[in-house]
Amino acid sequence: MQLVLVDMPHTWANLQPITSTRPISHIRVGIFTIAEKWANYTGLPLAYLTQPYLQPKYTLPTVQDEALFVNGAVCPTPVLWQRIEALQAGEALFSKDLFLAYRAQAGESSLPPLPHAQTHEFVGELTCLQQLTDIFAYNGKEIQADFQWIKTQRKSAPIEDKHTVVYNPDNVFIEEGASIKASVLDASKGVIYIGKNAEVQIGSLIQGNFALCEGAVINVGGKMRPDTTIGVYCKVGGEISNSVLIGYSNKGHDGFLGNAVLGEWCNLGADTNTSNLKNNYSSVRIWNYPAQDYVDTGKQFCGLMMGDHSKAGINTMFNTGTVVGVSANVFGGDFPPKYIPHFAWGGGKNSPTFELDKAFEVAQRVMERRGKTLTEAEKAILTTLYPK
């Protein structure tokens, strides 16, 4: 059987610019991406139904005797997987109007019109990403869920550094190869996960819920506040609160990042700061790609949303609820606009466009530092996003 993770078009569009370069299920929320969670729960091979221009990078479903189509914005739980696994061919599972899953009939390699399917209702708690702020809003809850799954699979490595202080060690999990030196891990109010070969440098302060994924580094004196995930091979410093760095991105220096989501291959220069609360304490409006306008998030706290391959120069000051597209280069002495489109150069009003071939050169140079190569499929994605 194959598990096919489906992007519902309106949801995918709402989650741009984070989804501009990936299916929804490749968003990290908690310790794992949504796709990794489904692989963990089911043990099934994964395929994806997403936007046509993304599809060459991600596995298409093949015609098999059986396949399960699952909403790629929904995080699995034991109860949800039990209900999905029990579906018969031609049956679908919904939560009110929210599509959850469909078990394909023989030969179906795409999701058919669902009104014709026999439907069942799911009643229970769900985590479903439907807008950008959901990524950080659900992050603490998903860190806890992923932490509990990991504890069923293996045992934590010990913390051998005698100068590191740990509060509530039962809520701390350390993978093999992780390094922690003279730091404080406060898991009294939430769990803390330190991934394989991750590094916590001297003088770091960490509060749970917190996840430092494989190969990631907290630089000297970093202050990691609750409900934060530092994705694979990221390097961070300064103060970070209730934020998600999906992977391979850097915020290596002092400065505050709060209630934020950064894609892959981003870099925030030294002393970059992001506001996550308006002076009048009102709810935050952010740019919405389908609406082509600012929409009310209903959240009092919301910081920076930045797409893949974007960068910010030193001392950049981001206003509350700023959205930065893919491969933008933000710099200058004033606050940049609250919406910065793909490939913007400078980020100010009427800023020029970053040339595509130069964007490729920068991306290749950055990725080589992590032993990665910019593939032709990834170049094609960036080319599709490039302003015409």
Q: What is the DSSP string of 254-277?
A: SSEEES-EEEES-EE-TT-EE--B
Q: What percentage of the chain exceeds 70 in pLDDT?
A: 97
Average pLDDT score over residue span 6-18: 97
- Determine the Cα–Cα distance for residues 138 and 347; give it in Å rounded to an integer: 30
How confident is the model over 19-65, as pLDDT tens digits?
999 999 999 999 999 999 999 999 999 999 999 999 999 998 886 66
* Residue 196 burial (10 A CB sphere; 0-12, 13-18, 19+): middle
- Determine the Cα–Cα distance for residues 278 and 37; give it in Å rounded to an integer: 35
HSE-up (13 A, CA, CB side) for residue 262: 31
How confident is the model over 83-98, as pLDDT tens digits?
999 999 989 999 999 9
DSSP 339: E
Dihedral in degrees, nearest 10, Cα atoms 234, 253, 160, 192: -60
CATH H-level, domain 2-130: superfamily? Spore Coat Polysaccharide Biosynthesis Protein SpsA; Chain A (3.90.550.10)
| Spans of all domains in the chain | 2-130, 134-385
Least confident of 72-86, 112-126, 340-354: 112-126
Q: What is the pLDDT of residue 285?
A: 98
- Sheet-wide strand order for 228-232: 172-174, 192-194, 210-212, 228-232, 244-247, 261-264, 304-306, 322-324, 339-340
Average pLDDT score over residue span 228-254: 98
How high is the mean pLDDT of the chain?
95
Pick the CATH number of 134-385 from 2.160.10.10, 1.10.1060.10, 3.90.1640.10, 3.90.1170.30: 2.160.10.10
Total residue length of the chain: 388
Q: Residues 228, 218: contact at Cβ < 8 Å?
A: no
β-bridge mates for residue 264, sequence order = 247
Average pLDDT score over residue span 159-187: 98
Using a cut of 0.75, tell me whether the model's pTM lies above it: yes
